[in-house]
Amino acid sequence: MKEQETSFRELQLDEVKKLIDDGYDVVDVREDWEWNKGHLPGARHVVLSSILANPTAQKFEAGTQAIAEVIGLGAAVDYLNELGMDAVRAHELDITE
């Protein structure tokens, strides 16, 4: 299997700060205990489970950045690319047989 290319790119902290300064909303969807350990100044805190439980309750402007998901997805893609898709497929076959 070939490694998958993605259209995601990692944002550096200064890029995220500039987005906030430029008026973009950054939504941090981590749990309260994670938020309380530290977060970006200016970020909006909305726990993901509350969005999933009632998707119409929160209104977000176009262009709102969901940073936690992007970071998590980017890390997962990087990890899978490091392993190589052949190794991922072999592992999948091994655990499903």
Please tell me the distance from the alpha carbon of residue 35 to that of residue 28, in angstroms, as a whole number. 8
Determine if residue 23 is left, alpha or beta; phi over 0 gives left, psi from -120 to 50 gives alpha, anything else beta: left
Summarised one tens digit per residue, pLDDT across range 27-38 is: 788 888 888 988
Residues of the chain with pLDDT under 70: 1-9, 51, 53-74
Query: What pLDDT, on the 0 to 100 scale, is given for residue 65?
Result: 57
Per the confidence metrics, is the pTM higher than 0.85?
no
* pLDDT computed for residue 29 by the predictor: 80
In degrees rounded to 5, what are phi and psi of residue 11? -95, 135
Which tens digit of pLDDT belongs to each residue from 45-60? 888 877 676 656 556 5
Contact 43, 24 (CB under 8 A): no
Tell me the domains of the chain and their CATH numbers.
Answer: 13-96 (3.40.250)
